[in-house]
Amino acid sequence: MKIAVDAMGGDNAPQSVVEGVEKARDAFEDMEFVLFGKVDEIKPLVKDQTRISFEQADEVIVMNDEPVKAIRRKKQSSLVLAAKAVKEGQADALFSCGNTGALLAAGLLLIGRIKGVERPGLLSTLPVVSSAQGGFNLLDSGANADNKPEYLHQFAVMGKFYAQTVRGIENPRIGLLNNGTEPHKGSKLTQAAYQLISEDPSLNFVGNVESRDLTNGVCDVAVADGFTGNAVLKAIEGTASAVMHLVKDSVKDANLFGKLGALMFKPNLMKIKDRVNPSRYGGAVLLGVKAPVVKAHGSSDAQTVYYTMKQIRTILNENLLSKFKTAFQTQDEEQN
């Protein structure tokens, strides 16, 4: 398998992207990488060019570029050229740590939807505090600001296949993010989506779930409209980070006795920090486009890039996308 890598996207690019790619190359013999970017800059960073090739890209899409405009205008950017390589079958998946909106736009506009998928959805994996399984999936976590009930039903189906295939959960529990757990609760959108999802016998639907229970593992896959999903994702990340900062600051403010205590307790606190770190759970995946399009955090280090490459490898090896094609093409034919 060959991965098209936007080597210029992200806060630590291209250094940490290159390091992560080399780590993945060393670990997985079936993986090849094409690095898109300023070859002059990238090539000297690569220690061993085995299964790594380079494609020159003169432009870079930066964080504050307007996504759709950037995709249309910066045709020589590392992201656009990498996406085109996937579209043309020269690579099997697209990876970037850069501008999320631009990556979504590249996935939607350049790589394109799978037939029968109404709207691709962005799937994120977040930590579960109390459980051995370690995480839950949230989708749509930001691809669609305006949503219809049918999109949410498809997110449930795609989330189920992802959790089965990539996370190895046999019969994933699907929850619908709502403002109460009772079946009648919610907006017109969630009430209609509840009907559609509950009537689908292929889904192990556990009903409505509330955002406060997500990090306690109330479901394996939480389905949301992309606006609310995005807000919840950012609220969870922001709050976890804010509380960890409070802990850090409280060490500074402690007296000598307290500081000594904190030092002795520190290894345990570091474990928590690692546990709530979302990048540990891999990248966000745009589900419903014709190839895996995967976004790692802008601040990703080499280890996170490596984890995300491992995740992409599983998606490809387990043929996740063929499951979508089968599910939605049948549905499409039934409707037509």
Binding site for a second copy (CB under 8 A): 66, 101, 129-130, 142, 145-146, 177, 179-180, 182, 184-188, 190, 210-216, 224, 226-228, 230-232, 234-247, 250-251, 253-254, 257-258, 260-269, 271-272, 275-276
Q: Which residue has tokens 């745009």?
A: 286
**DSSP one-letter code for 129:** S
Shortest approach of a second copy to residue 53 CB, angstroms? Answer: 35
Residue 113 structure tokens? 């939807």
- The whole-angstrom separation of Cα 8 and Cα 29 is 24
Q: How far is the CB of 299 from a second copy (least distance, A)?
A: 13
- Residue number, 47 or 234, with CB nearest to a second copy: 234
As measured in angstroms, the least distance from the Cβ of 24 to a second copy is 29
DSSP state of 57: -
In terms of CB distance, is 206 or 262 closer to a second copy? 262
- Dist. CA 289–CA 15, nearest whole Å: 29
If DSSP codes are grouped into helix, strand and coil, which group holds residue 301? coil
If the CB atoms of residues 76 and 187 are measured against a second copy, the closer one turns out to be 187
127 versus 292: smaller Cβ distance to a second copy: 127
Cβ atoms of 291 and 92 within 8 Å: the answer is yes
Nearer to a second copy, 27 or 247 (CB): 247
- 36-72 in b/e form (b: 16+ CB < 10 A) is bbbeeebeebbeeeebbebbebebbbeeebebeebbe
**Strand (E) or helix (H) holding 268:** helix 256-276
The nearer residue to a second copy, 66 or 118, going by C-beta atoms, is 66
Peptide bond into 140 cis (omega under 30): yes
Q: Which is nearer to a second copy, 112 or 183 (CB)?
A: 183
The minimum distance between CB 262 and a second copy, in angstroms, equals 5
Q: Shortest approach of a second copy to residue 232 CB, angstroms?
A: 5
What the block records as the tokens of 127 is 């930590």
Residue with tokens 């995300």: 308
- Among 334, 331, 326, 319, smallest CA distance to 118 is for 331
89: left (phi over 0), alpha (psi -120 to 50) or beta: left
Cβ 312 to a second copy, closest distance in Å? 25
Give the Cα separation of 157 and 313 in Å (integer): 21
Based on CB atoms, which residue is closest to a second copy, 215 or 308? 215
Shortest spacing between CB 241 and a second copy, in angstroms: 8
The 10 Å Cβ neighbour count of residue 119 is: 19
Give the chain's length.
Answer: 336
CB 281, min distance to a second copy, A: 15
User: Is residue 291 a contact partner of residue 321, using CB atoms and an 8 Å limit?
Assistant: yes
Report, in Å, the least distance between residue 29 CB and a second copy.
37
> In this complex, which beta carbon is closest to a second copy, that of residue 194 or of residue 324?
194
- The answer to whether 109 and 293 are in contact (CB under 8 A) is no
